Structure 1
Amino acid sequence: MERATSDLKFRWRVRDLIILLAFWQCILMTLCLLYFLHNQSVDLDRQRLVNLENARFSRDSGDFHSRLKATLKPPTKKGEEEARFIKNIITEAPVIGEEIKSLPGYISIIGNKTLHMTCRTCSLVSSSGQLSGKGAGADIDDADCVLRMNAAPVKGYEEDVGYRTTARIIGHPNLQKSLQEDEDMKQEILDDQNTRTDFVIIPWLYEVDINQTSDPVYLLAKNYSKEYPSVEFYLFTKEKLQETGREFERQVGMTRKEAHTWFSTGFVTMLFAIDICGKIDVYGLPPENYCQSHPNSKILYHYYNDSINKLECTYYAASEKKLHMGHKFLTEKAIFSQWAIHRNIRFHYPSWKPVLRNLTQLNSPFLKLYNEAKKNGTLSKLQNPSSKRQKSSKMSNCSGSVTDCKAEESKNYTVVRTFYKNGRRIVVKRVVKISKKPSA
């Protein structure tokens, strides 16, 4: 009995020893694996820096005339002096592991050079108030390329929107308002070495044929490209503008002219990002149903303070319901959702995923109103409300009996002239008085 007990205890000791040895062997293997991975990471970082140095290219090279800001950037929370130091010592370099491709849809304003640009990862930053207080700046700056819209500032908002800018996509009506009429923004976008962009991309939002000898926006961009040689100015070609129109028609089921709308800067910026980016992280663009699911939203249209700031959802709803003019923001966001299904696009602040719809055509608020008006036969009146305004204007100036008003209408009429200047719809009304000639 004692012998059996002794054998059992011996077996237990052997078992415990084997378990202990196996435990320490696992720890040793884990440490070895961590050490190996650490060395691999260091080697990759070193190789990355070597590739950056070897891949350095000059602006004089015909194939690589485009330049991108360095992909290694300091976090937004770093001090201003440290950020400036790191930014200045890191060499400008192309995207790692990607062949810089030619983009025939974009042409330089001087020299008629085709844009050569490829970005492995992109941050597409809107000007929406959705970004206020989100602290997304470091994530935004971490991408290879940072794309910004119009003249949304970064100074004073770095914590939320970052400070790097690779390309500014500025819709042609906004170029004069953003730069020529705002000296501070012109310095920030074109001159300040810490905040200036590498590229300015100018799409014409509602025109195709551009007169290069007389168009004021074209001449302004040409002057800026000469005044600020460190910034490259590129235009959408006529073919690219036509392609953009065809894409809108394919998604919406009607032409831009039939919809009485013009493209938003967000729409053409998304198309530009699709052309140059492998992966796109979009910041500050809500889905088309955001306002419906957030009826009490107080988010402002812009994250920065400006004289025309308003509630985002209010502006979206007002623009979407106008059948005769204006941007169709919610319709465009429905298009973005369709694009994101088939491309590597992710949305942040708010974060949302595109939904695959079993529809042949989008069903945005604008399209619902449009199709309903078309079915009821009221589309023509809703798309041309000037005649209605003219009649009401004449009647509002009349006082007295019906007979007197009819007589007044025969004497006075209102001339209404509508035209577009710098992207703004201008209506000029003029009351013309006609005195009755005495009958012979």
Structure 2
Amino acid sequence: MVNLRKKIVKWLTFLLLFVFLTSCFLNYSNSGVPITWFPKQMVLELSENFQKLIKQRPCTCTHCISQSKVSSWFDQRFNQTMQPLLTASNAMMEEDTYQWWLRLQRERKPNNLSDIVKELFSLVPGNVDPVLDKRSVGCRRCAVVGNSGNLRASSYGSDIDSHDFVLRMNRAPTVGFEADVGSRTTHHLVYPESFRELGENVNMVLVPFKTTDLQWVISATTTGTITHTYVPVPPKIKVKQEKILIYHPAFIKYVFDNWLQGHGRYPSTGILSVIFSMHVCDEVDLYGFGADSKGNWHHYWENNPSAGAFRKTGVHDGDFESNVTTTLASINKIRIFKGR
């Protein structure tokens, strides 16, 4: 028994040392944009990586998204190592990723990213699990709820609410539409210009398309000094700071490169939500994506003839994004509920 304990301690020590050295090498060998090391950061990262080693468990769903060798098309695109959330320990970006991100909305004079990130994570969680503790659940089911008018009279509400995670985006309301879109929301993806106030227990996932978006989070939870980006934005928000998560800019580029193959100028919030969910969930169901049965592109809460404008402007390639989700459904990686 004593010898067995000694062997266990020896192997645990070896694993800890290996993870520590690997972490140091990856962070210090990266030639990207430097991010200030925070107090206890290396200890936190070491602990995080070690926990992943000992907690890892297989998906118990009938069909698991991450299962390889089902489709070569999928395997060429899906990179399980990509972390969808920005944290204090993974905030350093490679130079080409950083420069690509700066060009998304042509920000001319961005402030120092290292300083912004340091201030940001002094206010919001900087040590959140980048895959939302996925492996603590054997089969996590996600509902990604888009904003299409095809949700009207769909009666999907109870089905949507039955999922472990329910992701919504931008200005999507639920009050008054519960029968069709559900009432639960666990994660709501927004950017400053699309923000709406959220329920008390909803996690806000900020999708930053520019450094100003990160600064807006700081401002909106403290001084309220940022009131305008390229349009007016809410100066203050009521979201609890511990409920604010940050979508990783490198993950946006991953979606653009791997999944959209460079189509459009940058990904829409919709496709970003879909790929995000594929990395944090084991089963993904899509609701409210695409046109309605009459071919109309409008939001379920309004009659907006210009709702599909981004399909034509080149900012987002809606048709290509739709092809991606359709292909994912055809190989049983996701399910799409088309509504009315």
What TM-score bracket applies, with the shorter chain setting the length?
A: 0.5 to 0.7
Equivalent-residue separation in structure 1 for 2:275 and 2:221 (angstroms) = 23
Residue of 130, 135, 143 corresponding to 1:123? 143
Find out whether 1:219 has 2:231 as its counterpart: no
1:119-158 pair list within 5 angstroms: 120-158=140-178
Distance change in 2, residues 1:249/1:234 (3 Å) = same
Instruction: Report the AA paired with residue 207 of structure 2.
Output: P
Looking at CA atoms only, which structure, 1 or 2, has the larger radius of gyration? 1
Q: What amino acid does structure 2 have at the position aligned with 1:104?
A: Q
Q: Which amino acid aligns with 2:83?
A: P
Which string of whole-angstrom CA distances, capped at 9 and with x for unpartnered residues, describes residues 345-368 of structure 1?
A: 1111339xxxxxxxxxxxxxxxxx
Deviations along 1:356-399, whole A, 9 cap, x unmatched? Answer: xxxxxxxxxxxxxxxxxxxxxxxxxxxxxxxxxxxxxxxxxxxx
Deviation at 1:249, TM superposition (A): 5.0
- Give yes or no for the alignment of 1:162 onto 2:182: yes
Q: Which residue does 1:334 correspond to in 2?
A: 323
Q: Measure, in 2, the Cα distance between the counterparts of 1:334 and 1:103.
A: 22
Match of 1:422 in 2: none
- Aligned partners of 1:246, 1:102: CA distance in 2, in Å? 15
8 Å contact 2:284–2:333 — kept in the other structure? yes
Correspondence for 1:364: none
Cross-structure match for 2:127 = 113
Q: What displacement does 1:311 show?
A: 6.8
CA distance in 2, matches of 1:239, 1:228: 25
The 1-side partners of 2:185 and 2:260 are apart by: 31
The CA RMSD measured in Å over matched residues stands at 3.2
Q: Does the CA contact (< 8 Å) of 1:149 and 1:168 recur in 2?
A: yes
| 8 A contact 2:252–2:267 mirrored in 1 | no
Q: Distance in 2 between matches of 1:331 and 1:167?
A: 25
* Equivalent residue number for residue 242 of structure 1: 253
Report which stretch shifted further, 221-230 or 336-345.
Answer: 221-230
The one-letter code of the counterpart of 1:304 is: W
Give 1:46-125 correspondences, 5 Å limit. 104-108=83-87, 109-110=120-121, 111-114=125-128, 115-117=130-132, 118=134, 120-125=140-145
Cα contact 1:278–1:344 (8 A) shared by 2: no
Query: Match for residue 103 of structure 2?
Result: none
Q: Measure the CA separation in 2 of the matches of 1:97 and 1:232.
A: 28
* AA partner of residue 221 (structure 1): V
Gaps of 5+ in 2: 1-46, 49-58, 62-79, 88-119, 223-237
Work out the CA distance in 2 between the residues paired with 1:219 and 1:332. 29
Which one of 167, 178, 192 corresponds to residue 194 of structure 2? 178
- Number of residue pairs the alignment of both structures matches: 210
Letter in 1 for 2:324: I
Distance 1:278 1:244, change over 3 A: same
C-alpha change, 1:238 and 1:264, in structure 2 (3 Å) is: closer
CA–CA separation in structure 2 for the residues paired with 1:321 and 1:178: 20
Larger strand fraction of residues: 1
Q: Alpha-carbon deviation of 1:218? A: 1.4
1:345 aligned to 2:334?
yes
8 Å CA contact retained: 1:125, 1:147? yes
Amino acid of the structure 1 residue aligned with 2:281 = C
Deviation larger for 114-123 or 138-147: 114-123
Task: Please list every run of 5 or more consecutive structure 1 residues that lacks an aligned counterpart in the other structure.
Answer: 1-61, 64-95, 180-184, 352-440
Secondary structure of the corresponding residue to residue 328 of structure 2: helix
